[in-house]
Amino acid sequence: MIRVLLADDEAMIRSALAALLRLEEDIEVVAECADGAEALETAIRLQPDVCLLDLEMPHLDGVEVAARLHRTVATRCIVVTRHARPGVLRRALASGVVGFLPKSRGAGEVADVIRRVVAGARYVDPEVAADALSAERSPLTDRELDVLRAGRRGETTGHIARTLSLAPGTVRNHVSAILAKLGLDTRQQAVFLAEERGWL
> Same structural domain for residues 76 and 164?
no
Give me the number of domains the chain comprises: 2
Same domain, 65 and 26: yes
The neighbour count for residue 178, using CB atoms within 10 Å, is 23
Q: pLDDT per residue over 5-48, tens digit each? A: 999 999 999 999 999 999 999 999 999 999 999 999 999 999 99
With the CA atoms of 12, 17, 19 and 21 taken in that order, what torsion angle do they form, in degrees rounded to the nearest 10? -170
Residue 6 burial class via C-beta count within 10 angstroms: exposed 0-12, middle 13-18, buried 19 and up: buried
126-156 pLDDT, tens digit per residue, is 877 776 666 667 899 989 999 999 999 899 9
Q: Per-residue pLDDT averaged across 149-165, rounded?
A: 93
- Range of the structural domain that residue 149 is part of: 142-197
| Residue 136: predicted pLDDT | 66
- Residue-level pLDDT at 65: 96
Q: What is the mean pLDDT of residues 173-196?
A: 93
Which whole number is the average pLDDT over 68-73? Answer: 92
CATH number at residue 12: 3.40.50.2300
Residues 109 and 168 in one domain: no
Between β-strands 27-33 and 50-54, what pairing exists: parallel, antiparallel or unpaired?
unpaired
| Per-residue pLDDT tens over the stretch 76-99 | 999 998 766 667 787 888 889 999
Mean pLDDT over residues 171-182, rounded?
96
Give the rounded percent of residues in the chain with a pLDDT score beyond 70. Answer: 95
Give the pLDDT confidence score for residue 196 in this predicted structure: 76
CATH number where 166 lies: 1.10.10.10
Q: Output the pLDDT for position 112.
A: 97
Same domain? For 98 and 175 the reply is: no
Classified as helix, coil or strand, 74 is coil
The residue among 92, 112, 134 that closes a domain is 134
Indicate if 168 and 192 belong to the same structural domain: yes
